[in-house]
Amino acid sequence: MEKVLTVTLNPAIDKSTTIASLLPEKKLRCSEPIFEPGGGGVNVSRVLHNMGYSSTAMFMAGKHTGEFFTKLVEQEGIETLVVPIEGHTRENLIVHDASNDLQYRFGMPGPTVQEHEWRDCLNKLKELKGYTYVVISGSNPAGVLPDFYSEAADIVKEKKCKLILDTSGEALKHALREGVFLAKPNVGELSSLVGGKELNASSILDVAREIINKGYSEIIVVSMGPAGAMLITAKEHFHVPAPALKIKSTVGAGDSMVAGLIIGMQRKASLKDILKYGVAAGTAATIQVGSGLCTKENIEKVRSFFVSEAVTN
Handedness of CA 247, 248, 251, 255 (dihedral sign): negative
pLDDT tens-digit readout, 91-143: 999 898 999 988 898 999 999 999 999 999 999 999 999 999 999 999 999 99
Overall domain count for the chain? 1
pLDDT tens-digit readout, 290-307: 556 887 888 878 877 764
**Beta-strand relationship, 162-166 and 79-84:** unpaired
Question: Model's pTM, two decimal places?
Answer: 0.93
Q: How many helices (H) and strands (E) does the chain have?
A: 10, 14
What residue numbers bound the domain in which 296 lies?
Answer: 4-312
What is the structure's pLDDT at 291? 56
Is pLDDT at 235 greater than 70 in this prediction?
Answer: yes
Tell me what the pLDDT averaged over the chain comes to: 92
Residue bearing the bigger pLDDT, 310 or 72: 72
Spatial distance between the Cα atoms of 121 and 129, rounded to a whole number of angstroms? 15
Q: Which CATH number fits the domain that encloses residue 244?
A: 3.40.1190.20
Which residues are catalytic, by number?
255
Query: What is the percent of the chain where pLDDT is above 70?
Result: 96
Residue pair 7/135 in contact (Cβ under 8 Å)? The answer is: yes
